[in-house]
Amino acid sequence: MKKFISLVVSFAIMALSNSFAQNYAITPEPNLVEVREGSVDISKGLSLYIDSSVEDVARLESGAALLGVDLKRVKRPARRCGLNLYIVDRAEIGGAAAYDNFDEGYELSVCSSGSVDIKATTAAGLYYGLQSLRQMLKGGATLPICYICDAPRFEYRGVLIDISRHFRSVDFLKRQIDIMAELKMNRLHLHLTDAAGWRIEVESYPRLCSYAAWRTPATWKEWWYGERGYVEQGTEGAYGGYLTKEDAKELVEYAAARYITIIPEIEMPGHSDEVIAAYPELACSHNPERQGDLCIGKEATFEMMQAVLDEIIEVFPSEYIHIGGDEATKSSWKDCEDCQRRMREEGLQSVDELQSYMIHRIEEYLNAKGRQIIGWDEILEGGLAPNATVMSWRGEEGGLAAAAAGHKVVMSPHGYCYIDAPQDAPPMQPEAIGGYLPLEKVYSYDPAPESMADSVREYILGVQGNLWAEFIPTDEHYEMMLWPRAIAIAEIGWSELKERDYDDFRARAVAIVEDMMSRGYNPFDLRNEIGERPESLQPIEHKALGKSVEYLYPSRYYGPQYAAAGDATLTDGLRGTWTYADGRWQGFLRGGVDVIIDMGEVTHIESIAADFMQYCGPGVFMPCLVEIAVSEDGENYTKIADIEHEVVVEDVPSFKSFGWSGAVDARYIRYKAHRSRYSGFLFVDEIVVR
């Protein structure tokens, strides 16, 4: 009988939990939810008590005002029909012991008396408790009697917004901050400077804003593939803009009221074309053509960067200042008299060490001002500055190396966190940088898996999604690319690692997207998602499956980074997905494709075909000609197809099959695809023989 009662109770608890998940979904998913029998109706309103010791009363009151219920501020907590916010010691929160870090955690109790109590050790924790309550109230004013104890897995939960390639207004940024706050994200990384435009006021170097912030082609693409020039502010047709110091301070205050820290990024030494255009004396002395790297040999470079950073510090109170450090070509330094002199004087052996010298100097300068540097993983090259934090983007290797050396790391690998790639079938999406990064893949990322050594894991600060704006000219397009994938980043950063249920997460993301659309946002509508390339979902059966393939010179030198399954790729039965980096598409950079398939014996053949893709942005093009020939003896070949194709540069990715059909008996098939006049890769996934 006791076992029967226990089973009944277990099923009842399960039913209550399922009901909570369906009707009161919270994202990021809370780490502990206990649901009890019963519910309370708060439609008539609540009294609002905020612990008098809380310094952030105004912020919390504003957060509570968004709940959608009437609130009346009171001086004492109410046991009935009250919303009570308390700052307490960690020991007073029973579930807090389960968390290593409870600084942003909270405890939320919906009581049968009709009161809602939120307890936390910090005001940020109370604010996040309010966000959970706000989401529970999306479906109406009835709440289940429940207990939630929740805290973030990672300290750093962020998004990068690029306002250099295409400028975004303060109002636009505030709108994104609002959604970030609802999802308990706490870092907004603003990419303020890059070749395409300088976007923050600097009084000591005014031409950064009066000249380097303006161009005549409105889109980055037109500018990048054109003359890449800049124009004076006020020039007819000038496109651009920048945040004034007052704009930036307003934004910082707005974000802080929602417990979000804005981290400014000032790129150095690379990605500095606009700086050199405004102040050419900072270029390396020997090279008259366009340069993107600052001259490290000149003291004027350090004088400028330090002056700029002084003004950045004045505006942004964040602990971290992002100094970029990525993708410096370093080519001009090798022949620059000033850079070479600097290397001799400092005993530097390589240009990597020269960049490291600059990073060290900038770190020392910022440390003296009470700030810390964070940079992309290239700052590891030549030796990492002692106190630097690394943002790992080229994969996880840089982050793992930095963490193993005792440096803090934010994981942001492009394969999971670069949300500038298309999120659905690329041919149906607006132009993007290339690839394919659906919500499901973003959600699958784990910044600190169980396989990671504890000595490394302790240095993983968190995770960040990056949205670069090269191909995103409008605000509406930017929101569509950002959301809902940034929702996945939020949950990865907050919720404790456990067996993830993507279907459950997707259902919650769909609800958030619908809510955002009702409020005037423009997220990607998950309800219309097409999904992965259909051909890739199941292995394909055909006559050449598993047959040997001979790669003729020079096609035998397929790109090592796109080797897929090596010599077995073209007959392994696996069709490619929407992205060429999936390990199924094989990439050829030199000469094109020229291969011979040995069928093993003379075989009756009725069709031979292979698919190619085109992504013009990253330099992936269709072939201009495909030749197909067959032979019975491997010596004498008969050409059966010459397929010509006019390769046209297009904004949207495309996929095309190049093949022959008819009737022929042969043992050997030679398939040859020629590159067009456009330099770049040819990608093919399978040669299908039927």
Q: Which residues are catalytic?
A: 194, 271, 327
CA atoms within 13 A on the CB side of 315: 24
User: Quick check: 414 and 326 in contact, CB under 8 A?
Assistant: no
**Cβ contacts of residue 141 below 8 Å, gap of 6+?**
41, 42, 43, 68, 69
User: Quick check: 385 and 363 in contact, CB under 8 A?
Assistant: yes
CB burial string 259-290: b at 16+ within 10 A, e below: bbbbbbbbbbbbbbbbbbbbbeebbbeeeeee
**Cβ contacts of residue 100 below 8 Å, gap of 6+?**
none
Task: State the distance between the two ends of the chain, measured CA to CA, in whole angstroms.
Answer: 66
Cross-strand bridge partners of residue 188: 159, 262
User: Quick check: 375 and 264 in contact, CB under 8 A?
Assistant: no
Give the CA radius of gyration of the chain. Answer: 29
Sheet holding 116-120, edge to edge: 32-41, 142-150, 106-110, 116-120, 82-87, 46-50, 71-73
User: Quick check: 338 and 284 in contact, CB under 8 A?
Assistant: yes
CB burial string 375-397: b at 16+ within 10 A, e below: bbbbbbbbebbeebbbbbbbebe
Cross-strand bridge partners of residue 593: 673
CB burial string 536-559: b at 16+ within 10 A, e below: beeeeebbbeebebebeeebeebb
User: Quick check: 92 and 114 in contact, CB under 8 A?
Assistant: no
CA atoms within 13 A on the CB side of 123: 20
Cross-strand bridge partners of residue 586: 684
The token duo for 17 is 């939990």
User: Quick check: 433 and 481 in contact, CB under 8 A?
Assistant: no
The token duo for 75 is 């001086």
User: Quick check: 558 and 551 in contact, CB under 8 A?
Assistant: yes
The token duo for 399 is 């982050």
Residue 669 CB burial class (10 angstroms; 0-12, 13-18, ≥19): buried
**Cβ contacts of residue 559 below 8 Å, gap of 6+?**
587, 588, 589, 681
CA nearest to 110, candidates 39, 47, 46: 39
* Residue 398, helix vs strand vs coil: helix
| Angle of the 299-315 helix axis to the 245-256 helix axis, nearest 10 | 50
* Residue 389, helix vs strand vs coil: strand
CA nearest to 173, candidates 181, 186, 161: 161
